[in-house]
Amino acid sequence: MRERMREKLKAARSKAESALQQEIPSPRPRRFVSLKEEEVTGFGEEVRKTKKYISISLKVLPGFPSTEEAYNFFTFNFDPEPENDETKDQKREESNQEVEEGEEEEEEKPATEEQELINKKDADDFLLDLDQTIDDFLEIRAAEYESIHKIKQKEREILFTPSSHTVPTYKKVPENMQPRYLEDEGFYTGERPVVPRINQNIMENRLLIQEQERKWFGDDGRILALPNPIKQFSTRPPIFSPEEGIEAGLETIYRKAVSSIHKNQYIVGSGDSLGQFQLDIDISGLIFTHHPCFSREHVLAAKLGQLYDQYLARRQKNQTKFLTDKLNALRNAVHTVPDSTKPHGSGHTAQERMNKYKFEIWQTRRLRDAEEEKDRTLLKTIIKVWKEIKSLRDFQKFTNTPIKLFLRKEEVDWKIDEKEFETEIQAEANELLEELMDEYEKKMEAYRMEYQEWKTWKKAQRIRKKKKKTEEEQDEVAEESEYGKEPVKPTPPEPVDKLAIEQQVREKALHSRRKPGEPILVPELSLAGSVTPNELCPRAEILRREDIKKRSVFLKVLFNNKEVSRTVSRQIGMDFRVHFGQIFNLQIHNWPESITLQVYETVGYGSTILLAEVFLPIPETTVFTGRASIEETEFSSNQHVTLDHEGVGSGEPFSFEADGSNKIILMTSGKVSNSVAWAVGENGIPLIPPASQQNIGIRSALRKVDAIASIGASGLTDMKKLAKWAAESKLDPNDPNNASLMQLITVANSGDTYVPDFFRVEQLQQEFNFVSDEALNRSKRFRLLHFRTQEVPEFRNFKQVPIYDREIMEKVFQDYEKRIRDRGIIETKDHLDTHRAIVAKYLQQVRESVINRFLIAKHHFLLSDMEKQGSILGISLFKLAEQKRPLKPRRKGRKKVPAQNLSDGDIKLLINVLRAYDIPIRKPIASKLQKPSRSSRPFSETLATSPSAQSPTHTVENVLSQVLVRPFVEVSFQRTVCRTTTAEGPNPSWNEELELPFRAPNSDYSTTSMQSVKDDVFINIFDEVLFDILEDDRERGRGIHTRIERHWLGSVRIPFNTLYLQGRIDGTFKIDIPPVLLGYSKERNIINERGFDSFRSLSEGTYITLFMTIEPHLVPGESVREKMTDMLKKFDSQEDEKLLQAAEKFHVECALKFPKRQCLTTVINLRGKTVFITRYLKPLNPPQELLDMYPDNPQATAELVARYVALIPFLPDSVSFTGICDLWSTSDQFLDLLAGDEEEHAVLLCNYFLALGKKAWLVMGSAIPEGPTAYVLTWEQSQYLIWNPCSGRFYGQFDTFCPLKSVGCLIGPDNIWFNIQQYDSPIRMNFDITKPKLWKSFFSRSLPYPGLSSVQPEELIYQHTDKVAAAELQDRIEKILKEKIMEWRPRHLTRWNRYCTSTLRQFLPLLEKNQGKDVEDDHRAELLRQLGDYRFSGFPIHMAFSEVKPLIEAVYSTGVHNIDISNVEFALAVYIHAYPKNVLSVWIYVASLVRNK
Amino acid sequence: MFPEFDDLYCKYCFVYGQDWAPTSGLEEGISQITSKSQDVQQTLIWNFPIDITFKSTNPYGWPQIVISVYGPDIFGNDVVRGYGAVHVPLIPGRHKRTIPMFVPESTSRLQKLTSWFMGRRPEYTDPKLVAHGEGRQVTRVRSQGFVTLLLNVVTKDMKKLGYDTNSLDMRTFSVADLSEGILK
């Protein structure tokens, strides 16, 4: 039984193993054993495996153990066997264990054999032990001990310490064999990796002990090893640094440099290049006048060549002949002169001229003689050198140079010659004689004179001597000295010996001149000689010739010390001439500083050596290609070369003599023939940089590398040569180092295979260029894609580029092309006004450049842009202490959504219209019966005291409503309109939420584009008027037939941008109500009755309380803006560094105390430079015109000035500069641009106020609805006034409706004060800046005001606006608006009431004059008088003029056109009042008229 | 496969070019939380099917699926456990993709400590960043875990437009992508 079990176990185990082995390498999908009840799972192999075991176990066991049985054995629930005994249960447990074990094994790796055996043994033992009694387990023995010696002995059997001694070679090689060194036999063995000797020895010893066979050792007795796998050179492509030359082997293609459009062209001064200029450098060749490889013969030949050249040059000049002719001419002149001069009697001048001639003759003769002598010596030297060559050739028995000298003899007629010679000599001798005679004469004269002197002196001497005797002794000393000067007795000059002179002349002539009758020798140098072929030459000479063949030369062209190109590498010829014949066209930008040629020599495949530098002169501006002559420029090198062959070397002494005497040292030298000239452009204009550039040494970074030349440097031009070289140098073809070379050679030798002699980075590019670049550019689709990747604004968000070209409309590109085309052209059509058009263009350009900068910045990421991570310890630990769920939860802000994830329809504008105050109420339409005066009440009356004057006397039958007004609010945004229900009364409360969808331009929801949304939210208040239009009174009982009309009362305009940047807008806004609202009036008494506080009544106007927000909450691109600001800060500043630091410090201190309050010390001007803010404030004169208007009313003047400033159109920076940065322009720039945001308005207003003598400050704070903004604060008679520079309105400090809600800092012309009071609301603040506890000033005692100069101009100059242009503009606007209104009413006929229009037109100037005040009554009266028959509703709109579009938008928003009564008539009048500096105030009067029945 | 973590869920989203538009299916979604399996492999299995169809006019901007895995740390804070992205295969058929996942590293040791302590590990501002290369040079990441995706791709009319992604005959106009995410 036990035996059986054991057998079973064994079988099972082996089965399990085999199964394991099967399974693990290939987990194939296995066949399931037809058991359908099992549910199939897809989880994995393991599950299946276990299940299989289970399934197999269900089978009935046969009698004997098989593989099937073995599996069955591992099952949990096999059938009870007939032989049940006690061990069965144990066994079952055992087997369970086994199964588990098996499974574990399966999951791990296959167990090794040993482990398996041990397991088996254990199991067997265990099984055996089961039968034994407990006693058998207990046995007591003494502890075993082994003696140390035994252990050591045992250890010795097992352990082995390899020695580190060198193993003798005989042990390593097989018996009776000598080590064989393959390397010596010429096989390539490769280089072994470096292993220290000691380690090698240890390994060898170990191997010898362990393995008796010597299979580990090679034939050479060393351990077998593969060659070193480490490559000698890195396979990583080298990184090209711009300083180095481009790697040889790269073919570079010249592409014209394209300047990036992402350049700031407008902000920072641009250096526009003046175009390209071209310099042509023609390198025709190179001649060595000495080279190390010159043989002696060559040296001589070179010398001969030089001499011959010299000779030729001399002969060409023929100085001798020239001088001889001159001499003859002079002689003739001498002969003729005396005759011609004598009759005149001016003997003196004749004599002078004579002398002059003579002197010249003398000089010329001397020159001629020298020349003649030179000629002769030259000829002699030539002959001498030639003789030397000949002797050398004889000596060395071979010729090296083809040089050959012929001497041509020109026979001359002996007689004539001699005669000439004789006459010449005679003439010369005569002249000389004459000369000498003259001299003699002169000398004689001198002699006589001297002699005379001497004589007199002698006489005097004698007399003195006589005297002397009589005189005293003491005088003697003094006189003695006089006598010391005793003149020598002059000797008479030698008389001239004619014969001697003639002899002298003759001798000289013989020496320097051709003898008479001697033939004229004309040397002729030819290269017709034959060079001894190599075979006949001695070895040294052959070596020399071989050496020359290996040498090649190329030239690098350096422009302004930068390599721009190089010639091909050319082999040096046997005659040491190299022909290049290359012309390099250098495209340059600047006047060249230097042009240098570097001569490089390559020897074999070795390194290239710089031989010499040749400096070429920069050509004159008159030297053009084609006209420039080839010039030879010499060079020489100081290199020292010694050669072991016939070559004489360079810089080394050598000699022609056999004994080595008479040594000469020659340096490598040569001549480069080249020409440098300016190229001529296609249209014939020479491409020469302007001379003004000549002095400006701007280094041009232009590089151009000739591809082929660069390979030349590597010496791989000739494949055949390479192969030859490889054969010669006995390269081991098996050496992997040479593999690439060998392959190349085989390819080259195999025949026609074209091996490009350059390397391309993208070799297959050409093949993949399935279409040419031009064709690609023609493809509209490709263009579209291209523009999109370039982020061209028009295409930046183009979606779904069509597949086919034909599906792309041509008009897609129209806008873009137009924009590109119009860049320089100023379009007047859209702007109606040239000045504004220019400004718009300028702004557009500035914007573009800022956007381009921004685009660059956008692709510059900071970590914070990419990752969110918790802040540093301090704050985070503090947060840790925070309760997870506080009992009193604080309100959490809405989750902010980054805008870029959004798409159309995701964003909504929520507007909560709460209530309105003080809405104008309807006035009973005064029929003709009523007195107009009845309704007219003084408008200027601020505190309305009259009690309920407005009794419900609505007697007019067609007004149904009994209420004063039924206002409702309509919000329009992006042409979507939404309205509230209608409320009643002048103080309605709607409390309604309106929802408007928002669409971003081009569906681009990126932060940038969101910030540049220019759309405004118009909140219009209308009055709903019901008219009964029942025709028939009889039906009144049965039906109601009314018409609803809406009358515009006023509007609030909130730019979307403000909303976006602020997140939400919450507050009470003043409604812009037209100054004249026909049919309506303000009901002040009601307010009073309801007991509103008195402040309210101070501010006349209508107010609306709103809450606006964007859903979801968008994250304004603050980070981008700050980053940009940071970037801009990096631009240089003209401010003092100390001041900037102080500003930074001030900033930090302020931010620490009141992080929310705005603190501004430095701003960025239009040039992108940081400027200290106080520099912007300076008294500036307002237009004189405004000052003259109310000369004695300062208050009115101030208001007028404020109005003027407000009339300058408002253009937020964030729109113009897409929220990137806040650029401040100075007041004159502002007035020129005629657009700016709050800061510019405020600065200008503040400057005006300062000029008016007021105390004025700039207030930086936040207001509704603008958000962070700038206001102006003035001190007027015991109260502070806050001016809104953009609207021109002013508020008292305690005005509750003042839009300024918080004050951050005040800025004066000489200081900045930061608000450190508890509150920042103007109402609760103290504006006394002298109190340091309330205001922290920037400049204090520790940092005194340094007296910063202003950036503002000295004075503003105002031009008068062209009235005619304004009038023209007025007409055009009127026409456009009329057209628009007709356009908006497509289904109705639009009639224009001309009479009314003209009436309205008369009113408008009046309105302007009174600034919209105090006219209503007269106006209304007038209107009523004139248009009594009409029901009239209309109003004037007043705006600052910037563009036409806002005007149209404003008219549209009033909804005048919405009236669709059939008999309605319209009236529209436009008036433009021109203020100085092109500031235009636009009045639009729109009215609708319905004829009363 | 995320050896150290348990109770993970994953978010997916698709990143595609401007010429692409999803025609059906959700382009963003979140899976259930899964716990480790009890077996030795301890895989996290979501078996989360995603079904989306795209249409496009241009292969440029071929869609990528971005997977980000989140799970609680020892303090119970939800932290990111891995980001990964893979292009939807171009070739129609069944594809198995194993994406190695990675997480951004803290910038400093101190930061690392506090972030571990606070359970506020650095995260990408937008998981879609992992589908782009731009700006990644400022981040440092560590790899952890793998996500296996099984993608079944069907394309339509590709060949008609000249894009031969497969030798087999295809007639498709839009790319329908049916992918089921299995996470190991």
CA angle A7, A8, A14 (to 5 degrees): 90
B115 inside domain: yes
Query: Does residue B84 surpass a pLDDT of 90?
Result: yes
Cβ count within 10 A of residue A1109: 19
Does B56 reach chain A within 8 Å, measured CB to CB?
Answer: yes
Range A1466-1481 average pLDDT: 83
Q: What is the pLDDT of residues A1141-1177, one digit of tens each?
A: 888 888 888 878 887 777 777 777 766 667 788 888 8
Q: Which residue range is the domain that position B92 belongs to?
A: 7-157
Which residue is closest to B116 within chain A, CA to CA? A870
Residue showing tokens 């007199």: A456
Residue B53 touches partner A, C-beta closer than 8 Å: no
pLDDT for residue A165 is more than 90? no
**Per-residue model confidence (pLDDT) at position B66:** 92
Over chain A, what is the mean pLDDT? Answer: 70
* Cβ–Cβ below 8 Å for A863 and B139: yes
Reported as a single tens digit per residue, the pLDDT across A260-302 is: 544 443 433 333 344 567 778 888 888 887 777 777 777 777 7
pLDDT recorded at residue A494: 66
Place of tokens 């709460």: A914
Condensed to tens digits (0 to 9), the pLDDT of residues A598-621 reads 888 887 777 777 778 888 877 777
Map tokens 């795209």 to a residue: B54
pLDDT per position as a tens digit, A220-268 = 777 877 777 777 666 666 665 555 555 566 666 777 776 554 444 343 3
One DSSP character per residue, A1410-1475 reads TTT-S-HHHHHHHHHHHTTTEEEEEEEEEEE-S-HHHHHHHHHHHTGGG---TTEEEEEEEEEEEE
CB contacts < 8 A (A, B) = 88
Least reliable range by pLDDT among A848-862, A1250-1264, B98-112: A848-862
Residue A1101 has pLDDT above 60, yes or no: yes
Question: Is B120 an interface residue toward A (CB < 8 Å)?
Answer: yes
List of chain A residues whose C-beta atoms are within 8 Å of the C-beta of residue B135: 859, 861, 865-866
Q: Spell out which residues of chain A touch residue B142, defining contact as CB-CB under 8 Å.
A: none
B32 and chain A in contact, CB less than 8 A: no
A1085-1093: long-range contacts (C-beta < 8 A, 24 or more apart)? A1085/A944, A1085/A945, A1085/A946, A1085/A947, A1085/A948, A1085/A949, A1085/A950, A1086/A986, A1086/A987, A1087/A917, A1087/A918, A1087/A987, A1088/A944, A1088/A945, A1090/A987
Question: Smallest CA–CA separation between B113 and chain A, in Å?
Answer: 9
| Contact: B111, A797; criterion CB under 8 Å | no
Q: Select, from the ranges A498-502, A651-655, A870-874, B121-125, the one with the highest average predicted confidence (pLDDT).
A: B121-125
Q: Do A800 and B19 touch (CB under 8 A)?
A: yes
φ and ψ of A1059, to 5 deg: -65, -40
% of chain A residues with pLDDT over 70: 61
Q: What pLDDT sits at residue A1382?
A: 84
- Is residue B168 a contact partner of residue B119, using CB atoms and an 8 Å limit? no
pLDDT tier, A858 (very low <50, low <70, confident <90, very high otherwise): low
Say yes or no to pLDDT of A305 above 60. yes
B181 within a domain of the structure (yes/no): no
Nearest to A1290 by CA among A1254, A1344, A1343, A1315: A1254
Are A866 and B18 within 8 A, CB to CB?
no
Beta-carbon separation of A876 and B60 below 8 A? no
Is residue B85's pLDDT more than 80? yes
Q: Which residue of chain A has the CA closest to B77?
A: A884
Shortest Cα–Cα distance, A897 to chain B (Å)? 11
Instruction: Write down how long chain A is.
Output: 1493
The ipTM is 0.73
Residue B65 pLDDT grade (very low, low, confident, very high; cuts 50, 70, 90): very high
Number of structural domains in chain B: 1
Q: What is the pLDDT of residue A884?
A: 58
For residue A110, give how far its alpha carbon lies from the nearest alpha carbon of chain B (Å).
Answer: 17
When pLDDT is cut at 50, 70 and 90, the band that residue B90 belongs to is confident
B133 interfacial to chain A (CB closer than 8 Å): no
> Which residues on chain B are in Cβ contact (under 8 Å) with A799?
18-19, 21
Q: Does the beta-carbon distance from B124 to A869 stay under 8 Å?
A: no
Mean per-residue pLDDT for B146-172? 74
Largest CA distance in chain B: 58
Q: Is B61 helix (H, G, I), strand (E, B) or coil?
A: coil
Identify which has the larger pLDDT, B68 or A1262.
Answer: B68
**What's the rounded mean pLDDT across residues A881-894?**
61
The per-residue pLDDT for range A1070-1087, each reduced to its tens digit, is 787 777 776 777 654 444
A708 phi, psi to nearest 5 deg = -65, -35
Mean pLDDT of chain B: 81
Contact assessment for residue A1238 and residue A1260, using Cβ atoms and an 8 Å cutoff: no
Which of B19, B57, B114 is nearest residue A873 as measured by Cβ atoms? B114
State yes or no: pLDDT of A33 exceeds 70.
no
Test mutation, A43, A867, A884, A896, chain B, max B CBs within 10 A? A867
Q: Which of A103, A861, A869, A1123 best probes binding to B when mutated, by most B CB atoms within 10 angstroms?
A: A869
Point out the least confidently predicted range of A271-275, A412-416, A1357-1361.
A271-275
* Residue A1058 token pair: 């403000």
How far apart CA A599 and CA A636 sit, in angstroms, is 10
Closest residue in chain A to residue B114, using alpha carbons only: A873
Is there a domain that residue B69 lies in? yes
Find chain B residues with C-beta within 8 A of A859's C-beta: 134-135
Cβ-Cβ contacts under 8 Å, A869 against chain B? 104, 106-107, 111, 115, 120-123
What pLDDT, in 10s, does the model give residues A1256-1299? Answer: 888 888 877 677 788 888 888 778 888 888 888 888 888 777 78
Q: What is the pLDDT of residues A177-205, one digit of tens each?
A: 777 777 777 777 777 778 888 888 888 88
Count of all residues that appear for chain B in the document: 184
Q: What confidence score (pLDDT) does residue A343 get?
A: 47
In this complex, do A803 and B120 lie within 8 Å of one another by their Cβ atoms?
no
- Measured in angstroms, the CA of B123 and the nearest CA of chain A are apart by 5
Task: Give chain A positions within 8 Å (CB) of B122.
Answer: 867-870
What backbone phi and psi angles, to 5 degrees, belong to A688? -120, 135
Residue A504: band (very low, low, confident or very high) from pLDDT cuts 50, 70, 90: confident
Average pLDDT over residues A1327-1355: 80
Q: How many CA atoms lie within 13 A of A35 on its CB side?
A: 16
Nearest to A288 by CA among A546, A647, A604, A709: A647
pLDDT confidence bin for A719, thresholds 50/70/90? low
> What residues in A contact B136, CB-CB < 8 Å?
866
How many CB atoms within 10 Å of residue A445?
11
Cut 0.90: pTM above it: no
**Does residue B81 lie within any of the structural domains?**
yes
pLDDT-derived band at A12, boundaries 50, 70, 90: low
Q: Is B47 on the interface with A (CB under 8 A)?
A: no
Query: What 3-state DSSP class applies to B99?
Result: strand
Amino acid at the residue A143: A
The mean pLDDT of B31-51, rounded to a whole number, is: 86
How sure is the predictor about A951, in pLDDT bands with cuts at 50, 70 and 90? very low
Count of CB atoms situated within 10 Å of the CB of A1003: 13
A306 pLDDT more than 60: yes
Eight-class DSSP state of A162: -
Q: Which of B21, B129, B135 sits opposite A800 (nearest CB)?
A: B21
Q: Which residues are CB-contacts of A497 (< 8 A; sequence separation ≥ 6)?
A: none
**Which of the residue ranges A237-241, A480-484, A1106-1110, A1326-1330 would you say has the lowest mean pLDDT?**
A480-484
Per cent of chain A over pLDDT 90 is: 0
Element (H, E) at A366: helix A347-396
**pLDDT at position A421:** 74
Q: Confirm whether B124 is domain-assigned.
A: yes
Q: What confidence category does residue B67 fall into, taking pLDDT thresholds of 50, 70 and 90?
A: very high
Q: B161 vs A865: CB contact, 8 Å cut-off?
A: no
Residues on chain A touching B110 (C-beta within 8 angstroms): 872-873
Would you state the pLDDT for residue A104? Answer: 45
Over range A1459-1477, report the average pLDDT: 81
Question: CA A1187, A1191, A1197: angle at the middle one, nearest 5?
Answer: 55
